[in-house]
């Protein structure tokens, strides 16, 4: 028997409250599981939503990276003292290639002679007898004077033959490349017959057909010849006729913006403002908007699921409190204060929330990994979203237990004990 001071109010240690809550949970495993399921699903979806948001962001970034600009085009602002003077130094390609992030660079200009340039696969008849359809089609092909670096910068790939080399450039060889579309239009298909293209009645042997040019699709409809050859045959580019030499630079993904800033200085440290730099619009802003929208949507879904989980615990706990009115009445009758009843209920729901949170976080991670695996994505799960998830479950449990706990504390023991304690 114990004899203790009667004055102090009854009290309940935290450890005892937790122990009692655990005992109550263990005593009703089925109800505990049902209560946990709400939190489990809520937290699982919360983690899944945030995990999918991170994973989707990674995928969006990867997808947009493929569309980042990798080409920069430089043109002179003024026409200069044409046709003799070139706006670029002779070693312009070497200077640009030395920049970090530059893959290749090259000079090119469209051949303009002050009159329509006739391009044909056969010698043109004397003036006045033109009429062949073949010649009419060939006139639409543009003629480009290009450096070997330009072909590399345009990522040109020949489907037949070869590209220019230093020998062709040095010896001003009368050779040319035909874009696949231009070659088809002129009926050139087999290079073993060494076909020639007549440019303004000057024959140039076709040494290759360009089948791909991811950096400059327009060259597939063009005929290209070495810049040295073009200059030797028709002189330097005549700006007055509209032949403005330009420099095409191919960069590594993501480096275009930096290269665009540095290139004018590399070409002419004293007159960088004399060059116009242009590049395709960057999709980064669009990517940021897409990612922001995706993240906001997933976060909203995550929070909604957590709120639904909280309400689920609250409803089951409330039903549980109603069923267990006699038990709480008994506890009140034998010395439990109202706050002890609140603590008991909140501890129970917090423990269930924590348990559901742990299971839900694990399930959420598994779902993200499985979904990513099924789509061949790289799963991205931020530890900051997973590790606090069980605590979020516990917090949801605390919130969910407050109202049922307060209602349980208001149970009148005399009335509650008129019924038997539920099993």
Partner 1 sequence: MATESLTQRLRRPPAQPLIDLRRAGVSYPGQRSPALQPMDLAVRHGELVTLTGPAGSGKSTLLNVVGLLLRPTTGSYLLNGSDTATLADSERTALRGRRIGFVFQRPQLLPTRSALDNVMLPVLYAGLTRQERITAATGALHRVGLGERLHATVSELAASERQRVAIARAMVTDPSLLLCDDPTASLDQAAAAQIIGLLVSLHKDGRTVLVATREQLAAAHSSRRLGVTAGAPAGSPDADA
Applying CB under 8 A, does 30 fall inside the site for partner 1? no
Residue among 233, 244, 330, 366 that touches partner 1 (CB under 8 A)? 330
Q: State the residue for tokens 């995990």.
A: 51
Is 11 a binding residue for partner 1 by CB under 8 A? The answer is yes
The contacts of residue 112 (CB under 8 Å, 6+ apart) are 237, 238, 241, 242, 243
Q: Please choose, out of 9-17, 43-51, 77-85, 268-276, the segment that lies near partner 1 by the rule CB under 8 A.
A: 9-17
Q: Figure out which of the listed residues 7, 127, 129, 270 binds partner 1, where binding follows CB under 8 A.
A: 7
Residue among 326 and 363 whose Cβ is closer to partner 1: 326
Provide, rounded to whole angstroms, the least separation between the CB of residue 358 and partner 1: 24
Q: To 10 degrees, the CA torsion angle through 320, 321, 325, 330?
A: 110
Q: Cβ(284)–Cβ(91) under 8 Å? A: no
Residue length, the chain? 423
* Residue from 45, 218, 232, 63 nearest 143 by CA: 218
Name the one range near partner 1 by CB under 8 A: 177-185, 235-243, 276-284, 331-339.
331-339
| Using rule CB under 8 A, residue 334 touches partner 1 | yes
Which of these segments, 23-31, 89-97, 194-202, 219-227, binds partner 1 (CB under 8 A)? 23-31
The span from the CA of 145 to the CA of 140, in Å, is: 16
Please tell me whether residue 16 binds partner 1 under the rule CB under 8 A.
Answer: yes
| 395's tokens | 């917090």
Return the exposure string of 92-127: e unless at least 16 CB atoms fall within 10 Å of the residue's CB, then b: bbebbbebebbbbbbbbbbbbbeeebbbbbeebeee
Residue 28 Cβ vs partner 1, minimum distance, rounded to whole Å: 8
Member of 127, 129, 270, 420 binding partner 1 (CB under 8 A): 420
Tell whether residue 383 is a contact of partner 1 (CB under 8 A): no
Q: Does 326 bind partner 1 (CB under 8 A)?
A: yes
Among 290, 337, 362, 395, the residue binding partner 1 under the rule CB under 8 A is 337
Instruction: Kindly tell me which residue out of 58, 161, 236, 413 binds partner 1, with binding defined by CB under 8 A.
Output: 413
Site for partner 1 contains 33 (CB under 8 A):
no
Of residues 75, 74, 69, 149, the one with CA closest to residue 101? 69
Contact status, residue 321 vs residue 408, Cβ threshold 8 Å: yes
Interface contacts to partner 1, rule CB under 8 A: 1-13, 16, 20, 23, 27-28, 326-327, 330-338, 340, 412-414, 417, 420-423
């Amino acid at each position: 028997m114990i004899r203790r001071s009667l004055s102090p109010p009854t009290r309940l240690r935290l450890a005892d409250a937790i122990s009692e809550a655990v005992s109550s949970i263990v005593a009703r495993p089925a109800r505990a599981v049902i209560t946990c399921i709400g939190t489990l699903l809520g937290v699982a979806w919360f983690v899944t939503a945030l995990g999918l948001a991170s994973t989707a962001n990674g995928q969006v970034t990867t997808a947009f990276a493929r569309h980042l600009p990798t080409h920069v085009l430089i043109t002179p602002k003024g026409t200069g003292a044409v046709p003799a003077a070139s706006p670029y130094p002779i070693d312009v390609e070497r200077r640009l290639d030395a920049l970090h992030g530059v893959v290749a660079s090259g000079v090119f200009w469209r051949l303009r002679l002050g009159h329509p340039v006739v391009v044909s696969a056969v010698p043109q008849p004397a003036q006045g007898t033109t009429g062949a359809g073949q010649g009419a089609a060939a006139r639409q092909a543009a003629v480009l004077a290009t450096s070997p670096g330009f072909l590399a910068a345009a990522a040109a790939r020949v489907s037949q033959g070869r590209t220019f080399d230093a020998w062709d450039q040095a010896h001003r060889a009368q050779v040319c490349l035909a874009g696949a579309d231009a070659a088809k239009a002129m009926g050139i298909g087999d290079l073993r017959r060494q076909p020639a293209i007549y440019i303004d009645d000057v024959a140039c042997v076709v040494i290759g057909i360009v089948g791909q040019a991811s950096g400059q699709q327009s060259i597939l409809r063009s005929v290209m010849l070495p810049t040295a050859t073009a200059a030797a045959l028709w002189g330097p580019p005549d700006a007055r006729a509209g032949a403005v030499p330009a420099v095409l630079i191919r960069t590594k993904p993501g480096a275009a913006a930096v290269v665009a800033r540095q290139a004018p200085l590399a070409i002419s440290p004293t007159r960088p403002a004399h060059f116009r730099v242009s590049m395709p619009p960057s999709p980064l802003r669009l990517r940021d908007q897409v990612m922001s929208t995706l993240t906001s949507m997933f976060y909203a879904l995550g929070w909604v699921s957590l709120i639904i989980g909280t309400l689920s615990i609250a409803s089951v706990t409330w039903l549980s409190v109603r069923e267990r009115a006699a038990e709480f009445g008994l506890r009140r009758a034998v010395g439990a204060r109202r706050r002890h009843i609140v603590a008991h209920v909140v501890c129970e729901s917090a423990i269930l929330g924590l348990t559901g949170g742990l299971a839900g976080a694990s399930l959420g991670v598994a779902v993200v990994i499985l979904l990513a695996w099924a789509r061949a994505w790289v799963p991205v799960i931020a530890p900051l979203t997973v590790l606090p998830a069980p605590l979020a479950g516990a917090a949801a449990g605390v919130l969910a237990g407050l109202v049922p706990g307060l209602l349980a504390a208001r149970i009148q023991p005399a009335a509650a004990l008129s019924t038997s304690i539920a099993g």
